[in-house]
Amino acid sequence: MPYSLVVSDISVTNDEDDIKQELMQRYDGVLNVERWYFDSDENYPMSCVQINFDSKENMDKILSNGQIIIGGTCRRVSIVKQPTCYRCKNIGHKVHDCPREPLNEKDLINLFAEQKQ
């Protein structure tokens, strides 16, 4: 599972590689910096970047401080929540990407019968 934080209010003109190099010099365990995009369309960048770390400990050091320095400015950080599937309850994907088949009417009847017992 990736250890990731998100930072907001980063100008869309700031290059991810430049941010990554700066963070790698200042903080331990920075693996990558990824720009977020609206609707996964690389034509519309957001002012948020995701910072991936090699361990929970390195991520927690920054998270406990509540901020990170990028370009000489303190920026607030928050944890990236992993998606949870409502069909199978597993973390890491959403229901439209779930490998488990949806329940059909027969499955529901059996499930309700098991719950009555």
φ/ψ of residue 44, rounded to 5: -130, 80
Dihedral sign from CA coordinates of 6, 84, 42, 29: positive
pLDDT (0 to 100) of residue 81: 78
pLDDT (0 to 100) of residue 30: 95
The CATH code for residues 3-79 is 3.30.70.330
Q: What is the pLDDT of residues 6-31, one digit of tens each?
A: 999 999 999 999 999 999 999 999 99
pLDDT (0 to 100) of residue 53: 94
pTM to 2 decimal places: 0.69
51 compared with 115, residue with greater pLDDT: 51
Structure tokens, 109: 């009847």
Average pLDDT, integer, range 65-75:
92
Neighbours of 53 (CB within 10 A): 23
pLDDT (0 to 100) of residue 110: 85
φ/ψ of residue 31, rounded to 5: -95, -45
